[in-house]
């Protein structure tokens, strides 16, 4: 029994690790080539206005764009690749990684919402806007208070990123980083399993569930929404799609639940990854959760007050295979 449990932990870790490798390796190579050819400098000029809003170096726009379009691991690959050329603070890292926690993998993840009937344009725009607003808020708070202004120091990295490294040095450093990432993933999966065995996940579910009432989410959608918030959009979103297709949830519950899951999901696992790469807990965990709850409290008022015709036209467009709830 014990050997089966251990093997399952290892196999789950390997599965997630291979997903990460398939994402990160091509991005790492692309960033290396783009840096050598000076493409990053041109992209920085184009993305400077957006990055200026959140107080970050323009060069980090490439990491933000990679996260928005691909996923968090792609953004991390770019982030690590750019470290030798930038002098970043803990605040900088926290702001970037916090935005990415709210808005990442937009094309892929928001198709989950679309499958449940939620407008792709609306849900995608919501995540990007709230992500940028949160980044602006963190930048203001950290700058005004002079907090987290110390230089970013990722001592755990198995290599020291440096300028003008050879391709061989780069390949060695990238390979050792990926090897180290496997052990981080294994540790996270073990940690999540411990939380599950000790029923801590269930406790957090019950503890945080009452906050969903502030966002106008009914009791019928509470437990499903919390699954997505704690474990990830793919888990909670899949359950929402099933319930929406069965007609067991009201359309506005579907929209509000998926919107909240979109901006605040993977509340346990993802922040731990970001903390490993220099994100501070105040931004990637506590502040993000509070900001997202407050943001959704405002969004829900608008959604709940919308006339039915406008709601169905702009926010909720169920497909033929996902009939609207009665």
Tell me, what's the pLDDT at 97?
A: 96
Structural domain contains residue 228:
yes
Residue 138 tokens, joined? 């963190």
Give the count of domains, the chain: 1
Structural domain contains residue 324:
no
Structural domain contains residue 326:
no
pLDDT in tens, 164-184: 667 787 787 778 877 777 887
Structural domain contains residue 322:
no
Tell me, what's the pLDDT at 159?
A: 60
Structural domain contains residue 195:
yes
Tell me, what's the pLDDT at 160?
A: 64
Q: Which residue has the higher pLDDT, 2 or 276?
A: 276
Tell me, what's the pLDDT at 39?
A: 74
Spatial contact of 305 and 295, defined as CB atoms under 8 Å apart? no
Structural domain contains residue 257:
yes
Structural domain contains residue 259:
yes
**pLDDT class of 149 with cuts at 50, 70, 90:** very high
Mean pLDDT over the full length of the chain? 83
User: Which domain, by its residues, includes 128?
Assistant: 2-314
Q: What is the DSSP letter of 152?
A: P
Structural domain contains residue 96:
yes
| Residues 6+ positions from 199 with CB-CB distance below 8 Å | none
How far is C-alpha 1 from the chain's CA centre? 34
Tell me, what's the pLDDT at 324?
A: 39
Residue 119 has pLDDT above 80, yes or no: yes
């Amino acid at each position: 029994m014990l050997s089966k449990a251990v093997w399952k932990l290892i196999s789950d870790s390997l599965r997630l690790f291979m997903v990460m490798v398939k994402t990160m390796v091509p991005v790492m190579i692309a960033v290396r080539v783009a840096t050598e050819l000076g493409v990053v400098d041109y992209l920085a000029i184009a993305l400077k206005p957006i990055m200026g809003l959140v107080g970050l170096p323009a060069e980090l726009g490439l990491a933000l764009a990679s996260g928005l379009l691909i996923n968090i691991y792609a953004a991390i690959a770019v982030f690590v690749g750019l470290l030798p050329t930038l002098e970043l603070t803990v605040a900088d890292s926290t702001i970037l990684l916090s935005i990415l926690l709210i808005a990442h993998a937009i094309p892929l993840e928001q198709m989950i919402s679309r499958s449940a009937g939620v407008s792709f344009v609306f849900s995608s725009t919501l995540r990007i806007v709230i992500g940028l607003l949160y980044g602006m808020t963190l930048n203001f708070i950290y700058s005004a208070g002079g907090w987290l202004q110390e230089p970013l120091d990722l001592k755990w990295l198995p290599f020291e990123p440096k300028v003008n490294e050879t391709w061989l040095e780069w390949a060695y450093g990238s390979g050792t980083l990926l090897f180290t990432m496997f052990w981080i993933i294994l540790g996270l999966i073990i940690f999540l399993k411990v939380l599950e065995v000790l029923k801590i996940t269930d406790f957090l579910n019950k503890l945080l569930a009452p906050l969903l009432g502030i966002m106008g989410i009914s009791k019928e959608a509470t437990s499903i929404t919390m699954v997505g918030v704690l474990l990830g959009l793919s888990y909670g979103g899949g359950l929402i799609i099933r319930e929406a297709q069965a007609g067991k949830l009201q359309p506005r519950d579907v929209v509000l639940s998926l919107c909240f899951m979109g901006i605040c999901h993977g509340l346990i696992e993802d922040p731990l990854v970001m903390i490993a790469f220099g994100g501070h807990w105040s931004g990637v965990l506590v502040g993000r959760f509070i900001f997202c709850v407050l943001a959704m409290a405002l969004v829900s008022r608008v959604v709940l007050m919308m006339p039915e015709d406008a709601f169905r036209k702009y926010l909720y467009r169920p497909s033929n295979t996902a009939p609207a709830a009665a």
